[in-house]
Structure 1
Amino acid sequence: MGEGRIVKALSGYYYVENENGIFQCRGRGNFRKRKITPLVGDWVEFEAENRTDGYVLEVHDRKNELVRPPISNVEQAILVFSTDEPSFSPILLDKFLVHVEANHIEPIICLSKIDLLSDTEEIKRYEDIYRNLGYEVINTSIYLQETIESLRPYLVQKVSVFAGQSGVGKSSLLNALNPNLNLETNEISKSLGRGKHTTRHVELIPIDGGGYVADTPGFSSLDFQGMEVEDLSMYFPEMRTRINDCKFRGCMHINEPKCAVRDAVQSGDIAEHRYDNYKQFLDEIKSQKRRY
């Protein structure tokens, strides 16, 4: 029996890597009964007679896991958002940040396609807001090699997931980091304003200097399944630091008197778009709870 990490899952097979190489495995045991599905990133126990005929027997405890993309034991998330084609979406970025914060994953905001940017003032305003919240913000373009090199040090010795809306250039960025990958990319649909899905599965890709990056299927929406309304403000750093200043314990920052969060919005210390997104996410969570 050996131990390794699942680096790819495709068509019912799990590709497990350890110091002896990569082994193609199927799942075996009582995973279905225990409602456990092996994920890319899992550390597992497996047995294999050869490189193409193995079985995953046990999944070790996970540090974290994401549902979409389906991956576990991630250390940081590179959230790729284009400045144009498709247009920058603050609400989608905030939704990604909430999910990453909830899973205790370090987020890095990567603004792609800066070579297409015409209105630098608006993007600069957003950059300042998120940097002031403590988030790393990196500007990139596959046509500006110095921007690609500025991203590379963040990836070394880490397990990083590249995630973001379809068409923002995740696969193109990975190809620029490692031209040998030849990951499939596609043009933005002019009629829909979004990209076609080019990544069909999740895979951990080794990078120079050690570490892995995951290219993941693109998607344009996230749900809040499993998230509680009482916890949402904890995933907004600017709210988290003010919770103890609210008059009422368990303040939801909507209609309660002497709410430190709403006071900070009114004074401009909390960005209005962030607070508006918080309220929308709160409504989405409540709506989901009613449905289930």
Structure 2
Amino acid sequence: MTTGAKTLENNSNSKDLVGRIVKALSGYYYVVPEQMEAADQQETADAMIQCRARGIFKKRGESPLVGDRVIYVLTENGEGMVDAILPRDSELIRPPVANIDLAVLVFSVTEPVLNLQLLDKFLVHIEHAGLPAVLCLSKSDLAEEGEETQEAKDIMEAVSRIYEPIGYSIYTTSSRQQHGIEALKHRLQGHLAVFAGQSGVGKSSLLNALVPGLALETSEISSRLGRGRHTTRHVELIQVGEGFVADTPGFSQLDFVELGIEELSSCFREMKELAPQCKFRGCTHIHEPECKVLEALESGRIEPSRYEHYKLFVAEMKEKKRRY
């Protein structure tokens, strides 16, 4: 049995219980009883129950996910059996996790250098999923030392200038210096959040700073490739005070398989607000006359980099459509 999962004596009169799946590994689901979710980290770990899922899920083509609230029963061998999945508020396909209600997009100011096009691609996916998002700029201490100091400062200023006016909160953090950690921890309370971002940006280091004693494996950036090795290999919920964070495998690429071209502009907040005022219904915001998005771009009310990324994503989606 995995360390931290508690073996419970069989109770022949056991009734249906409610809990949350916090980890899925090798065919087992690790469930924390509902009444223990607000307990401290050690108490939660001690209460964790190792469960299998009933065969009926496979027959239905369903699968319990990390984050699911489930009904389970205790079994004769001191473990448990997941009987039913309670209705989900949300579901992500990649990473496979349920009931997320906050996305924290983690991007480092340098090592690797923050790529605004990649940031916008992440934001498109999060907006399409209907999740509130906040931005976290990690490794801020590297903006104060080393050869990349000015570049890192410029990036931090650009992110604030571009993304705060369209409604994204920005948390600047340094795991090494503990800068900004308490503010981010406060934001996570009462939420089931997902940390997303490319490999090597410091997600595991950030979680280690948020939860002292956690000791997640971290990885140095490869100087040859300019990116970090994946250090997270499965989805797991990590308790942060009275909230949970899904520590997820790093993303090497994102595609638009689940997203249609006609939906893309609604994933850019500033375009979504203006689109109803365009002359033509279904305006692509690229060549149509009396397009309010193009007018806002011309007057400086839409950031050129955001619009250029929008056009690049449209082209990428059209190319994929031609290929398939």
What TM-score, normalized by structure 1, do the two folds share?
A: 0.94
Q: Residue 286 of structure 1 corresponds to which residue in structure 2?
A: 318
Shift in Å at residue 290 of structure 1? Answer: 4.2
> 1:1-54 deviations in whole A, cap 9, x for unaligned?
222111101111111111363221122233234332211111112222268532
CA distance in structure 1 between the aligned counterparts of 2:77 and 2:103, rounded to whole angstroms: 31
Change (3 A) 1:165 1:253: same
The answer on 1:271 being equivalent to 2:303 is: yes
Contact (CA 8 Å) 1:24, 1:51: kept in 2 or not? no
Q: Residue 134 of structure 1 corresponds to which residue in structure 2?
A: 167
Change (3 A) 1:274 1:166: same
CA distance in structure 2 between the aligned counterparts of 1:106 and 1:194, rounded to whole angstroms: 27
Name which of structure 1's ranges 260-269 and 50-59 shifts more when overlaid on structure 2.
50-59
Q: Residue 253 of structure 2 corresponds to which residue in structure 1?
A: 221
Shift in Å at residue 150 of structure 1? Answer: 2.0
Q: Residue 13 of structure 1 corresponds to which residue in structure 2?
A: 28
Identity across matched positions, percent: 52
Amino acid in structure 2 at the alignment position of 1:125 = A
> Which runs of structure 1 show a deviation greater than 6 angstroms over 4 or more consecutive aligned residues?
none
List aligned pairs for 1:52-131, cutoff 5 A.
Answer: 53-117=79-143, 118-119=149-150, 120-131=153-164
> 1:85-142 deviations in whole A, cap 9, x for unaligned?
0010111111111111111211010000111121213430221110011100111111
What TM-score, normalized by structure 2, do the two folds share?
A: 0.85
Name which of structure 1's ranges 138-147 and 173-182 shifts more when overlaid on structure 2.
138-147
Q: Residue 183 of structure 1 corresponds to which residue in structure 2?
A: 216
Unaligned runs of 5+ in 1: none
State the structure with more CA Rg. 2
Change (3 A) 1:50 1:192: farther
Contact (CA 8 Å) 1:74, 1:161: kept in 2 or not? yes
The answer on 1:150 being equivalent to 2:183 is: yes
Amino acid in structure 2 at the alignment position of 1:4 = G
Contact (CA 8 Å) 1:22, 1:51: kept in 2 or not? no
Q: Secondary structure at the match of 2:23?
A: strand
Shift in Å at residue 267 of structure 1? Answer: 2.0
> 1:241-288 deviations in whole A, cap 9, x for unaligned?
101121101111122121111221222211111111112222333334
Unaligned runs of 5+ in 2: 1-15, 37-46, 144-148
> Number of residue pairs matched?
291
The answer on 1:23 being equivalent to 2:18 is: no
CA distance in structure 1 between the aligned counterparts of 2:319 and 2:222, rounded to whole angstroms: 31
Amino acid in structure 2 at the alignment position of 1:262 = L
Q: Secondary structure at the match of 1:55?
A: strand
CA distance in structure 2 between the aligned counterparts of 1:80 and 1:189, rounded to whole angstroms: 18
Change (3 A) 1:26 1:284: farther
Q: Residue 231 of structure 1 corresponds to which residue in structure 2?
A: 263
Q: Secondary structure at the match of 1:182?
A: coil
Contact (CA 8 Å) 1:23, 1:51: kept in 2 or not? no
- RMSD of aligned residue pairs (Cα, Å): 1.7
Q: Residue 282 of structure 2 corresponds to which residue in structure 1?
A: 250
Amino acid in structure 1 at the alignment position of 2:20 = R
Change (3 A) 1:146 1:113: closer
CA distance in structure 1 between the aligned counterparts of 2:80 and 2:118, rounded to whole angstroms: 40
Contact (CA 8 Å) 1:46, 1:54: kept in 2 or not? yes
The answer on 1:4 being equivalent to 2:19 is: yes
Change (3 A) 1:260 1:32: same
CA distance in structure 1 between the aligned counterparts of 2:60 and 2:288, rounded to whole angstroms: 43
Contact (CA 8 Å) 2:236, 2:248: kept in 1 or not? yes
Contact (CA 8 Å) 1:82, 1:88: kept in 2 or not? yes
CA distance in structure 2 between the aligned counterparts of 1:157 and 1:173, rounded to whole angstroms: 18
Q: Residue 146 of structure 2 corresponds to which residue in structure 1?
A: none
